[in-house]
Amino acid sequence: MARTGLSAAEALERLRRFGPNETGEGRGGTWRRALAAVAGEPMFLLLLAAGAIYLVVGDLAEGVLLAFFALVAVGLVVLQQERGERALDALRALAVPEVRVLREGRAQRIPARELVPGDLLLLGEGERVAADAVLREATGVQVDESLLTGESVPVRKRAAVAGEGEEGGETKAIPGGEDAPHVFAGTLVVSGHALAEVLATGERTHMGRIGLSLARIDTRATPLQSQLARLARRLFVLALVLSLALVAWHGLAGQGWLQSALWGLAFAMAMLPEEVPMVLTIFVGLAAWRMARLQVLARRPAVIEALGATTVLCVDKTGTLTENRQRLCRLLTAEDDIDVTAGAPLPESVHELLEYALMASRRGGADPLDLAVFAHGDASLAGTEHLHPAWPLLEEYPLTPELLATSQSWVTPQGRQAVAAKGAVEAVADLCHLDAEAAARLLRQAEWLASQGLRVLAVAKGEAEGAKAAAIQHDYTFTPLGLLAFEDPLRADVPAAVAQARAAGIGVAMITGDHLATALAVARQAGIATDGGALTGAEVDALDDAGLRAALRQVRVFARTLPQHKLRLVQAFRANGETVAMTGDGVNDAPALKAADIGIAMGVRGTDVAREAAGLVLLDEDFSRIVAGIRAGRRTFDNLRRALTYILAIHVPIAGLALLPVVLGWPPVLLPPHVALIQMVVDPMCSFAFEGVPQSPELMRRPPRPARQALLGTGTLRFGLLQGSALLLAALAVYAVALRFGSADAARTLAVAGLTAGNVALVWINTGARIGRPLGRALPIITALAALAMAVTALVPPLRALFQFGPAPPLHWALALVLPVAAVALAAALGTTSPPPTAAPAGRS
C-alpha cells in the first residue's frame, strides 16, 4: 500500500461501510429519563395530591387546573432536560479528540470519530491511540496498555513486516507482549513516534465495548449542585412536617380534614424552592456553552464555579503568550544594526549577511529558523543578485553535538564553491578561527541581543576552488558576516489581557523552559511583573518549601523549568492560599494540572493525557481566552447569586401568605391553584431574566471572591429575607385592609395582585434593571405576561370563579399594586445585593 493514505472518496465510502469510530452511546430515552425523574419531584407529587383532593370533594375545575399545572411541570422539566442534553451534545462534539492521519499524501487533523479502517494514523509521544492498528513505521515506540491488560509497565512496539496486519475492519491480535506490531484503541504512546494502519474502529476494537471517551463532559453533580440539592431535601422535610402539623391543628379544631389538607398542601408547595436545581443546571450549562464560543471548553462544570475565584494564572510562554513561531527581527553586522520588522527596504550593507543566511538554510525543511530566514530573505532580496535559485547544492554539513553549526556548499557558475555557515555564535567563531578578542566581541553582541529575549545565530561565508567538497566544515576558510536575531512574537492581545487580569486582582505567573533572559524579556513585553525578579528551575530545587512559598509572594517569572517544577510551584502557590489556574500541554504536565484548582490544557499542541487531567481545554491556545473565561465565570457566579436571592425573597411571602392568614383565623389567601400559578411564573423568570443579565462594568476591576465563599452568604441571605419580609408585610397589609372593606374573594384578588406586582419588582431590582433600561427583551416580556395572567384571572368570570377571586374598587387596586412595589424598593434601598469585595492578598500582581 502506498504511503499516501486513503483518498477523500475512499474514506467517505469506508465511513459509510464501517460507521463512525465511536461506541454507539447516545442519549436515547432522554424524555423517558426526564419523566422518571420528575415523577419523584416533591412539587409534582404535591400537585397530584391537591388535584386528587379537589376531585374527591367534587370541585372538578380546580382538580383539572392542578392536573394541567402538573403536566406543565412535567413539560418544563422534559424541555429543560432536552435543551441541556443538546447543549452537552454540542460540547461533546467540540470535545471529541482529533487525530492526525495521512490522506491523499498530506498530514491532516480529523475528528477521531471519522477514522476508518485503512487510514494511516500518525502517532506521537503522549497521544492516545484512537483505533486498533498495525504499525507500518515505528521509531522507539513504547505503549502503555494497562487499560486493557492491567500491566503498568509499557511494552515495546515494532513495525510490522510484510504480510502482518489484517484488513476488513477487525483485528485478531491481542494486547500485551513485547515487540508486537499492533497497537490498540485507548492505549497510550509513552515514547517514540509511528505510522500505523488502522484495522478496526468503534465497537470492533478491543475497547469498543467500554465506550471510552477521552474528553467527555462530566455530568456528575458539582459540589454546589449537591449542596443545593441537600438544601431542597431539608426544606421538603421541614415543609412536610409543618404542613402536617397545620393539617392536624385545623382538623382537630373542627375546620374539616379535607379543607385542612388543602391548606397544608398549599403551605408545603409554597415552601419548596423547586426552581433551584433547574436554575443551576441552566446557568452552568449556558455558561459552559458561552465559554465554548470563546474557545474555552469546560470539560467539567465544577471548574466554572472555581473560575471566578482564580487568584493566580500560571501560564506557559510559547504558544500561549507568544505566537509559537520564529520571526527574523534583527540583522547585525560590523557596520549596521537593522530592525527588519519595520518593513523598510534593507540597506546594501546587510544584503550579503542575508544572502549567506539563505544559502546556509535548508529549503523545504521544517526548521522554524530556516523558515523565518526564507520568509524574510526571499521577499527582501527579490530582484537582486543575492538570490541563486539555479546554483546546485554540492554538500550539506549537518549540525553535530561537537559543532553546533551547519554549512552548505554551492557550486557557482564559475565552477567555484560558495560555502555558507550558520549556527551558535561560539561554533561559528570557531569555524572562522577568530582570535580571542574578536570572538569575545562577537559573543558580547550576541549576549546583548539574547538579553532582549532574542534567539541569535551567527553567519559566515567561505570559498573554495573546484567542485570537490571538503570532508568536514573546518576544512574551509570562513569569514564572519554578522548575526541574525529571531523572536517568537508576543500575541497582540496579550498585554491588554494581562492588564485586565492584574486589574481584577489576578496574578499572572509565567513558567517556561526557555532561558532566563528570554523569559524576562517576554514578561516585560506582556506586562507580567518582573520587579520580584525570576527563579530558575535549579533555584526552585535549592529552596525548601517554606523558602519557596516566601519567594512566590513576589516572583512571577520562572525559567528553565521542568514538569516537576511546575507541580511544586502549583503546590506552593496553593499553600499560600491562592486559587491556581495552570496551563499545560504534555504528559508530564498532568500531575500539575490535577494539582491546580483549574487545569487548562492546550487544545492544539496539548496531549490527550493533559486534556484528561484538565478541567478546561483552551481550543486556540490564546491567553486572552483564559481571561475571557474568568470573566464568564465571574458573571455566572454573580447571576446565580442574583437568581437565588430572588428565589429566597419570593418564597418568604408565598409561604407567609399560605400560612399566616390560616393561623390568624382569617380566610385563606393562597390555595394550591394560586401557589401553582405563581410557581409557573417564578421558573421562567429565573431561567430567562437572571441568566441574561450582562456583566457588571466593575466585574474585572474587583478582586477575586474568596474560594470558599458560599453562593448564599450571610449578606445574600439577609438581603433576600429583608426583601421577602417587606413584600410579605405589604401583601398582608393589602389583604387586611381589603378584608375590612370588602369580601374575602376581593381581598384574595388584591393580595395575589400585590404579590404579583412585588414579584415583578423583585426581578427588576435583583437584575439591576431600571425603567427604560430593562437589560434585554426577556424582562419586559415577562412583566407583560405576569400582568396579563393577573388581569385574565381577575377579570374573566370563569377563571375568576376558579381562583375564587372577586371584584374590587379601583382605589383598592391602586393600593394593592403600589404598596408592595414601594415596600420592595424600600427594602432594596436599605439592603445590599452582595457582601463587600474581599481585598486581594498582598503581593498578587
User: Is the separation of the CB atoms in 576 and 553 below 8 Å?
Assistant: yes
Cell 506490531 appears where? 181
Distances (CA, A) of 377 to 274, 329, 355, 371: 68, 12, 7, 10
Element (H, E) at 111: strand 106-111
The grid coordinates of residue 50 equal 391537591
CA distance 712 to 276: 12
CA distance 579 to 570: 10
Q: What SS3 class is residue 399? A: coil
| Residue 316 a catalytic site member | yes
User: Is the separation of the CB atoms in 195 and 129 below 8 Å?
Assistant: no
Amino acid at 435: D
CA distance 471 to 78: 78
CA distance 611 to 593: 9
Amino acid at 142: Q
Q: How distant is the alpha carbon of residue 400 from its chain centre?
A: 43
CA distance 630 to 635: 9
The grid coordinates of residue 838 equal 474581599
Say if strands 106-111 and 98-103 run parallel, antiparallel, or are unpaired: antiparallel
Which residue out of 316, 370, 514, 622 is catalytically annotated?
A: 316
CA distance 229 to 563: 39
In degrees rounded to 5, what are phi and psi of residue 85?
Answer: -65, -35
User: Is the separation of the CB atoms in 657 and 669 below 8 Å?
Assistant: yes
CA distance 272 to 41: 11
Amino acid at 187: T
CA distance 471 to 461: 17
Helix, strand, coil % over all residues of the chain, rounded to 5: 50, 15, 35
The grid coordinates of residue 168 equal 476488513
CA distance 36 to 218: 21
In degrees rounded to 5, what are phi and psi of residue 439?
Answer: -65, -40
CA distance 338 to 485: 10
CA distance 261 to 493: 64
Please give the positions annotated as active site: 316
